[in-house]
A and B are shown apart, each in its own frame.
Chain A
Amino acid sequence: MILQNLIECNKWHIAVYKTNLSLYSKIINMNVFFQTWPWYISGFIIGLIMLSLLYFGKSFGMSSNLRSMCAMIGAGNKVSFFDFDWKSQRWNLVVVVGAILGGFVAVNFMSDPSNVTINPKTIDALAQLGLDAPNGQLMPSLLFGNDNFLTLKNLAILLAGGILVGFGARYAGGCTSGHAISGLSNLQLPSLKAVIGFFIGGLIMVHLLFPLIF
Protein backbone atom coordinates (compact mmCIF):
# COMPACT_ATOMS: atom_id res chain seq x y z
CA MET A 1 0.00 0.00 0.00
CA ILE A 2 2.71 2.40 1.05
CA LEU A 3 4.79 1.31 -1.89
CA GLN A 4 1.86 1.91 -4.23
CA ASN A 5 1.43 5.40 -2.78
CA LEU A 6 5.08 6.09 -3.23
CA ILE A 7 4.93 5.04 -6.87
CA GLU A 8 1.85 7.20 -7.46
CA CYS A 9 3.61 10.08 -5.78
CA ASN A 10 6.67 9.55 -7.88
CA LYS A 11 4.57 9.53 -11.06
CA TRP A 12 2.98 12.77 -9.98
CA HIS A 13 6.40 14.29 -9.35
CA ILE A 14 7.58 13.23 -12.76
CA ALA A 15 4.44 14.72 -14.33
CA VAL A 16 5.02 18.03 -12.53
CA TYR A 17 8.68 17.95 -13.52
CA LYS A 18 7.73 17.40 -17.15
CA THR A 19 5.19 20.25 -17.10
CA ASN A 20 7.79 22.55 -15.59
CA LEU A 21 10.30 21.50 -18.17
CA SER A 22 7.95 22.24 -21.05
CA LEU A 23 6.96 25.58 -19.49
CA TYR A 24 10.64 26.39 -19.03
CA SER A 25 11.44 25.56 -22.64
CA LYS A 26 8.50 27.69 -23.73
CA ILE A 27 9.93 30.65 -21.83
CA ILE A 28 13.28 30.06 -23.53
CA ASN A 29 11.51 29.89 -26.87
CA MET A 30 9.75 33.18 -26.19
CA ASN A 31 13.13 34.74 -25.48
CA VAL A 32 14.45 33.44 -28.76
CA PHE A 33 11.42 35.01 -30.40
CA PHE A 34 12.27 38.43 -28.92
CA GLN A 35 15.97 38.24 -29.64
CA THR A 36 17.59 38.89 -33.01
CA TRP A 37 16.34 36.21 -35.41
CA PRO A 38 19.19 34.14 -36.84
CA TRP A 39 20.18 34.68 -40.46
CA TYR A 40 19.35 31.13 -41.57
CA ILE A 41 15.74 31.39 -40.38
CA SER A 42 15.23 34.96 -41.62
CA GLY A 43 16.79 34.25 -45.01
CA PHE A 44 14.65 31.14 -45.43
CA ILE A 45 11.42 33.03 -44.66
CA ILE A 46 12.39 35.86 -47.06
CA GLY A 47 12.92 33.21 -49.77
CA LEU A 48 9.49 31.77 -48.98
CA ILE A 49 7.91 35.25 -49.22
CA MET A 50 9.33 35.65 -52.73
CA LEU A 51 8.08 32.16 -53.69
CA SER A 52 4.62 32.73 -52.22
CA LEU A 53 4.22 35.86 -54.36
CA LEU A 54 5.15 33.77 -57.43
CA TYR A 55 2.47 31.29 -56.34
CA PHE A 56 -0.03 34.16 -56.19
CA GLY A 57 0.90 34.95 -59.81
CA LYS A 58 2.89 38.08 -58.85
CA SER A 59 6.53 38.93 -58.35
CA PHE A 60 8.54 40.19 -55.39
CA GLY A 61 9.80 43.75 -55.82
CA MET A 62 9.42 46.68 -53.46
CA SER A 63 10.81 49.63 -55.42
CA SER A 64 8.11 49.42 -58.13
CA ASN A 65 5.73 50.68 -55.43
CA LEU A 66 7.55 54.02 -55.59
CA ARG A 67 6.60 54.29 -59.26
CA SER A 68 2.99 53.38 -58.43
CA MET A 69 2.93 56.01 -55.69
CA CYS A 70 4.22 58.67 -58.10
CA ALA A 71 1.49 57.65 -60.55
CA MET A 72 -1.11 57.72 -57.77
CA ILE A 73 -0.44 61.36 -57.00
CA GLY A 74 -0.74 62.31 -60.67
CA ALA A 75 2.80 62.20 -62.08
CA GLY A 76 1.37 60.45 -65.15
CA ASN A 77 -0.16 63.72 -66.35
CA LYS A 78 3.28 65.21 -66.87
CA VAL A 79 5.63 62.30 -67.44
CA SER A 80 4.71 59.34 -69.63
CA PHE A 81 6.75 56.89 -67.50
CA PHE A 82 4.09 57.27 -64.81
CA ASP A 83 1.16 57.07 -67.21
CA PHE A 84 0.43 53.38 -66.65
CA ASP A 85 -2.28 51.32 -65.02
CA TRP A 86 -1.00 51.61 -61.45
CA LYS A 87 -4.24 50.11 -60.17
CA SER A 88 -3.02 46.76 -61.52
CA GLN A 89 -0.23 47.11 -58.93
CA ARG A 90 -2.57 47.67 -56.01
CA TRP A 91 -1.78 44.20 -54.65
CA ASN A 92 1.84 45.35 -54.13
CA LEU A 93 0.69 48.47 -52.29
CA VAL A 94 -1.31 46.13 -50.03
CA VAL A 95 1.94 44.22 -49.34
CA VAL A 96 3.40 47.61 -48.35
CA VAL A 97 0.53 48.20 -45.90
CA GLY A 98 1.22 44.76 -44.42
CA ALA A 99 4.94 45.56 -44.15
CA ILE A 100 4.19 48.81 -42.30
CA LEU A 101 1.96 46.90 -39.85
CA GLY A 102 4.67 44.23 -39.46
CA GLY A 103 7.27 46.88 -38.64
CA PHE A 104 4.92 48.42 -36.07
CA VAL A 105 4.19 45.10 -34.33
CA ALA A 106 7.81 43.90 -34.38
CA VAL A 107 9.19 47.10 -32.85
CA ASN A 108 6.43 47.65 -30.30
CA PHE A 109 5.67 44.10 -29.15
CA MET A 110 8.63 41.90 -30.10
CA SER A 111 11.69 43.93 -29.17
CA ASP A 112 14.36 43.31 -26.58
CA PRO A 113 17.24 45.45 -25.28
CA SER A 114 19.63 42.78 -26.59
CA ASN A 115 18.68 43.62 -30.19
CA VAL A 116 21.13 44.99 -32.76
CA THR A 117 24.25 43.59 -31.09
CA ILE A 118 26.75 44.61 -33.75
CA ASN A 119 30.49 44.02 -33.87
CA PRO A 120 32.34 46.14 -31.23
CA LYS A 121 34.76 47.16 -34.01
CA THR A 122 31.81 48.60 -35.93
CA ILE A 123 30.81 50.59 -32.83
CA ASP A 124 34.36 51.99 -32.62
CA ALA A 125 34.23 53.00 -36.28
CA LEU A 126 30.87 54.69 -35.66
CA ALA A 127 32.26 56.58 -32.67
CA GLN A 128 35.00 57.97 -34.91
CA LEU A 129 32.29 59.26 -37.25
CA GLY A 130 30.46 60.77 -34.26
CA LEU A 131 27.50 58.39 -34.43
CA ASP A 132 25.92 56.68 -31.42
CA ALA A 133 25.99 52.93 -30.66
CA PRO A 134 22.75 50.93 -31.12
CA ASN A 135 21.83 50.14 -27.46
CA GLY A 136 18.97 47.99 -28.75
CA GLN A 137 17.79 50.57 -31.30
CA LEU A 138 17.55 49.89 -35.04
CA MET A 139 18.81 53.30 -36.16
CA PRO A 140 21.44 55.75 -34.89
CA SER A 141 19.42 58.32 -32.99
CA LEU A 142 21.85 61.13 -33.89
CA LEU A 143 20.79 60.75 -37.54
CA PHE A 144 17.30 59.18 -37.49
CA GLY A 145 16.02 59.88 -33.97
CA ASN A 146 12.70 61.72 -33.84
CA ASP A 147 14.35 64.46 -31.74
CA ASN A 148 17.49 64.79 -33.87
CA PHE A 149 16.72 64.46 -37.55
CA LEU A 150 15.34 67.95 -38.06
CA THR A 151 18.71 69.61 -38.63
CA LEU A 152 19.75 70.91 -42.03
CA LYS A 153 22.61 68.42 -42.31
CA ASN A 154 20.52 65.39 -41.32
CA LEU A 155 17.63 66.37 -43.58
CA ALA A 156 20.06 66.78 -46.48
CA ILE A 157 21.58 63.34 -45.83
CA LEU A 158 18.18 61.63 -45.55
CA LEU A 159 16.77 63.34 -48.65
CA ALA A 160 19.90 62.77 -50.76
CA GLY A 161 20.07 59.12 -49.69
CA GLY A 162 16.41 58.66 -50.58
CA ILE A 163 16.87 60.28 -54.01
CA LEU A 164 19.86 58.00 -54.77
CA VAL A 165 17.89 54.92 -53.68
CA GLY A 166 14.79 55.87 -55.70
CA PHE A 167 16.66 56.94 -58.83
CA GLY A 168 19.12 54.05 -58.74
CA ALA A 169 16.46 51.40 -58.11
CA ARG A 170 14.36 52.55 -61.07
CA TYR A 171 17.36 53.00 -63.38
CA ALA A 172 18.63 49.52 -62.48
CA GLY A 173 15.09 48.16 -62.77
CA GLY A 174 14.87 46.84 -59.23
CA CYS A 175 16.27 46.95 -55.72
CA THR A 176 17.42 44.43 -53.16
CA SER A 177 14.16 42.48 -53.41
CA GLY A 178 13.74 42.64 -57.19
CA HIS A 179 17.35 41.98 -58.18
CA ALA A 180 19.20 40.44 -55.23
CA ILE A 181 16.41 38.07 -54.13
CA SER A 182 14.05 37.59 -57.11
CA GLY A 183 16.60 38.05 -59.91
CA LEU A 184 19.48 36.03 -58.48
CA SER A 185 17.07 33.24 -57.43
CA ASN A 186 16.15 33.03 -61.12
CA LEU A 187 19.86 33.06 -62.08
CA GLN A 188 19.60 36.33 -64.00
CA LEU A 189 22.94 37.78 -65.18
CA PRO A 190 21.56 41.36 -65.32
CA SER A 191 20.60 41.04 -61.65
CA LEU A 192 24.11 39.92 -60.77
CA LYS A 193 25.50 43.07 -62.48
CA ALA A 194 23.03 45.21 -60.53
CA VAL A 195 23.82 43.54 -57.19
CA ILE A 196 27.58 43.93 -57.74
CA GLY A 197 26.78 47.58 -58.52
CA PHE A 198 24.82 47.86 -55.24
CA PHE A 199 27.88 46.68 -53.33
CA ILE A 200 30.35 48.88 -55.24
CA GLY A 201 28.13 51.88 -54.45
CA GLY A 202 27.71 50.91 -50.80
CA LEU A 203 31.43 50.35 -50.29
CA ILE A 204 32.32 53.68 -51.95
CA MET A 205 29.81 55.43 -49.69
CA VAL A 206 30.84 53.82 -46.41
CA HIS A 207 34.60 53.75 -46.94
CA LEU A 208 35.34 56.81 -49.08
CA LEU A 209 32.47 59.26 -48.58
CA PHE A 210 31.44 58.71 -44.93
CA PRO A 211 34.61 60.38 -43.56
CA LEU A 212 33.75 63.43 -45.71
CA ILE A 213 30.05 63.50 -44.80
CA PHE A 214 30.08 62.76 -41.05
Chain B
Amino acid sequence: MKVLKYIIVGFVFGIVLTKSEAVSWYRIYEMFQFQSFHMYGIISVAILTGIVGIQLIKRNDIKDIDGAPIEIPNKENGNYRYWIGGIIFGLGWGLVGSCPGPIFILLGAGFYSIIVVLAGAMIGTFIYGVVRDKLPH
Protein backbone atom coordinates (compact mmCIF):
# COMPACT_ATOMS: atom_id res chain seq x y z
CA MET B 1 0.00 0.00 0.00
CA LYS B 2 2.86 2.36 0.86
CA VAL B 3 4.34 1.93 -2.60
CA LEU B 4 1.01 1.61 -4.38
CA LYS B 5 -0.15 5.14 -3.57
CA TYR B 6 2.95 6.62 -5.19
CA ILE B 7 2.47 4.43 -8.26
CA ILE B 8 -1.13 5.66 -8.50
CA VAL B 9 -0.13 9.33 -8.10
CA GLY B 10 2.52 8.90 -10.81
CA PHE B 11 0.12 6.98 -13.05
CA VAL B 12 -2.55 9.70 -12.85
CA PHE B 13 0.16 12.35 -13.41
CA GLY B 14 1.34 10.51 -16.54
CA ILE B 15 -2.18 10.15 -17.93
CA VAL B 16 -3.22 13.75 -17.22
CA LEU B 17 -0.07 15.26 -18.68
CA THR B 18 -0.38 13.09 -21.78
CA LYS B 19 -4.11 13.61 -22.28
CA SER B 20 -3.84 17.36 -21.69
CA GLU B 21 -0.87 17.26 -24.11
CA ALA B 22 1.32 19.17 -21.66
CA VAL B 23 4.00 16.60 -22.58
CA SER B 24 3.76 17.60 -26.22
CA TRP B 25 6.64 19.52 -27.79
CA TYR B 26 4.02 21.20 -29.98
CA ARG B 27 2.06 22.53 -27.01
CA ILE B 28 5.18 24.08 -25.47
CA TYR B 29 6.13 25.67 -28.79
CA GLU B 30 2.58 26.98 -29.21
CA MET B 31 2.71 28.36 -25.66
CA PHE B 32 5.93 30.28 -26.30
CA GLN B 33 4.38 31.61 -29.52
CA PHE B 34 1.38 32.87 -27.46
CA GLN B 35 -0.88 31.13 -29.95
CA SER B 36 -3.01 29.16 -27.49
CA PHE B 37 -4.40 29.60 -24.01
CA HIS B 38 -4.28 25.85 -23.36
CA MET B 39 -0.95 25.58 -21.48
CA TYR B 40 -1.48 28.86 -19.61
CA GLY B 41 -4.89 27.55 -18.54
CA ILE B 42 -3.44 24.27 -17.26
CA ILE B 43 -0.68 25.97 -15.26
CA SER B 44 -3.00 28.67 -13.86
CA VAL B 45 -5.71 26.25 -12.74
CA ALA B 46 -3.11 23.93 -11.20
CA ILE B 47 -1.65 26.85 -9.23
CA LEU B 48 -5.10 28.16 -8.20
CA THR B 49 -6.08 24.68 -6.99
CA GLY B 50 -2.78 24.48 -5.14
CA ILE B 51 -3.17 27.92 -3.52
CA VAL B 52 -6.67 27.09 -2.26
CA GLY B 53 -5.58 23.64 -1.05
CA ILE B 54 -2.47 24.92 0.76
CA GLN B 55 -4.46 27.72 2.43
CA LEU B 56 -7.02 25.14 3.60
CA ILE B 57 -4.20 22.94 4.94
CA LYS B 58 -2.57 25.86 6.78
CA ARG B 59 -5.75 27.38 8.22
CA ASN B 60 -7.23 24.10 9.39
CA ASP B 61 -3.96 22.54 10.56
CA ILE B 62 -4.66 19.49 8.44
CA LYS B 63 -2.38 16.57 9.34
CA ASP B 64 -0.73 14.28 6.84
CA ILE B 65 -1.47 10.58 6.39
CA ASP B 66 0.71 9.66 9.42
CA GLY B 67 -0.88 12.31 11.65
CA ALA B 68 2.12 14.65 11.51
CA PRO B 69 1.59 18.35 10.72
CA ILE B 70 2.04 19.19 7.04
CA GLU B 71 5.09 21.44 6.78
CA ILE B 72 5.88 23.12 3.50
CA PRO B 73 9.43 24.52 3.64
CA ASN B 74 9.96 27.97 2.16
CA LYS B 75 12.34 28.28 -0.80
CA GLU B 76 15.70 29.79 0.06
CA ASN B 77 16.15 33.47 -0.69
CA GLY B 78 18.39 34.31 -3.58
CA ASN B 79 18.58 35.91 -6.96
CA TYR B 80 21.30 34.51 -9.21
CA ARG B 81 20.28 30.89 -8.94
CA TYR B 82 16.63 31.60 -9.74
CA TRP B 83 17.19 34.04 -12.60
CA ILE B 84 20.19 32.38 -14.26
CA GLY B 85 19.14 28.81 -13.46
CA GLY B 86 15.60 29.61 -14.54
CA ILE B 87 16.70 31.09 -17.88
CA ILE B 88 19.00 28.13 -18.59
CA PHE B 89 16.16 25.74 -17.79
CA GLY B 90 13.82 27.74 -20.03
CA LEU B 91 16.26 27.54 -22.96
CA GLY B 92 16.21 23.75 -22.66
CA TRP B 93 12.45 23.63 -22.11
CA GLY B 94 11.87 25.62 -25.28
CA LEU B 95 14.31 23.50 -27.29
CA VAL B 96 13.26 19.95 -26.39
CA GLY B 97 9.77 20.91 -25.23
CA SER B 98 9.93 18.73 -22.18
CA CYS B 99 10.63 19.41 -18.53
CA PRO B 100 11.70 16.57 -16.20
CA GLY B 101 8.19 15.16 -15.55
CA PRO B 102 7.30 14.82 -19.24
CA ILE B 103 10.75 13.34 -19.97
CA PHE B 104 9.75 10.29 -17.91
CA ILE B 105 6.19 10.21 -19.25
CA LEU B 106 7.37 10.35 -22.88
CA LEU B 107 9.70 7.45 -22.16
CA GLY B 108 6.58 5.40 -21.41
CA ALA B 109 4.89 6.84 -24.48
CA GLY B 110 7.52 5.06 -26.58
CA PHE B 111 9.76 7.83 -27.89
CA TYR B 112 13.29 6.37 -27.87
CA SER B 113 14.69 9.83 -28.66
CA ILE B 114 13.75 10.89 -25.12
CA ILE B 115 16.47 8.59 -23.79
CA VAL B 116 18.97 11.07 -25.27
CA VAL B 117 17.18 13.98 -23.54
CA LEU B 118 17.14 12.04 -20.26
CA ALA B 119 20.85 11.27 -20.59
CA GLY B 120 21.46 14.98 -21.25
CA ALA B 121 19.38 15.97 -18.21
CA MET B 122 21.40 13.62 -16.00
CA ILE B 123 24.65 14.98 -17.44
CA GLY B 124 23.39 18.53 -16.82
CA THR B 125 22.50 17.64 -13.22
CA PHE B 126 25.94 16.07 -12.80
CA ILE B 127 27.69 19.16 -14.20
CA TYR B 128 25.78 21.30 -11.69
CA GLY B 129 26.96 19.03 -8.89
CA VAL B 130 30.58 19.47 -10.04
CA VAL B 131 30.58 23.27 -10.46
CA ARG B 132 28.05 24.07 -7.72
CA ASP B 133 30.53 25.68 -5.33
CA LYS B 134 31.83 28.03 -8.01
CA LEU B 135 28.39 29.35 -8.98
CA PRO B 136 26.69 32.40 -7.44
CA HIS B 137 23.47 31.41 -5.72
Contact = CB atoms under 8 A, between A and B. Distances in A.
A211 interface: no
Contacts, number: 507
Task: Please tell me the size bucket of the interface on A.
Answer: 35 or more
A149 B6 CA distance: 32
Contacts of A157: 95-96
A40 B41 contact: yes
B128 A162 contact: no
A20 interface: no
Interface string B60-97: 00101110101010111111011111111111111111
Interface in A64-111: 65-67, 69-70, 75, 79, 81-82, 91-92, 94-108, 110
B103 to A, nearest CB: 8
Interface residues of B, number: 113
B64 A201 contact: no
A102 B20 contact: no
Interface string A158-183: 11111111111111111111011111
Interface of B is mostly: helix
Interface string A181-214: 1111111111101111111111111110110010
Contact of A206 (B29, B74, B124): B29
A113 interface: no
Interface stretch (A6-14, A21-29, A133-141): A133-141
A72 B61 CA distance: 36
A161 B26 CA distance: 15
Contacts of B126: 70, 75, 79, 82, 166
A52 B45 CA distance: 16
A172 B30 contact: no
B81 A201 contact: no
Contact of A79 (B29, B42, B107, B129): B129
A57 B19 contact: no
Interface in B1-23: 3, 5-23
B101 A177 contact: yes
A20 B74 CA distance: 54
B47 A184 contact: yes
The winner among B19, B39, B78 for most chain A CB atoms within 10 A is B19
Given A103-B105, A170-B125, A207-B32, A46 B16 contact: yes
Interface of A: 36-57, 59, 62-63, 65-67, 69-70, 75, 79, 81-82, 91-92, 94-108, 110, 115-116, 118-119, 121-122, 125-126, 134, 138-140, 143-146, 149, 154-155, 157-177, 179-191, 193-207, 209-210, 213
